[in-house]
Amino acid sequence: MGNWLQSSYMARKGVAHGKAGKTHELTVAKQCKYNYVYGPYAKPVLAIEPGDIVIAETQDAFEGVIKKESDK
């Protein structure tokens, strides 16, 4: 991890104390569909531990349908 993490508030006060864990990549393909909600209404797609790093690939609210300004 870069120096920013070691000197961050998260490193000093977080559960993992700045120790980087496993890196997870959550791609569009792995997610399969989007729920657009957080909380008890959406099933988890990933389980992580304190210190784990998540790289998330996301779509906008239109799921990539709008490509240029003239699209409606």
* Domain carrying residue 33: 20-72
* pTM (2 d.p.): 0.59
User: Does residue 12 form part of some domain?
Assistant: no
How many residues does the structure list for the chain? 72
Report d(CA 19, CA 31) in Å as an integer: 27
**Domain annotation covers residue 43:** yes
How many structural domains comprise the chain?
Answer: 1
46 found inside a domain: yes
* Residue 22: predicted pLDDT: 93
Phi/psi of residue 41, nearest 5 degrees = -90, -10
Q: Is residue 9 part of a domain?
A: no
Residue 53 lies in a domain: yes
pLDDT band of 38, cuts 50, 70, 90: confident
Q: Is residue 4 included in any domain, yes or no?
A: no
Q: Is 54 domain-assigned?
A: yes
How far, in Å, CA of 33 to CA of 22, rounded?
Answer: 24
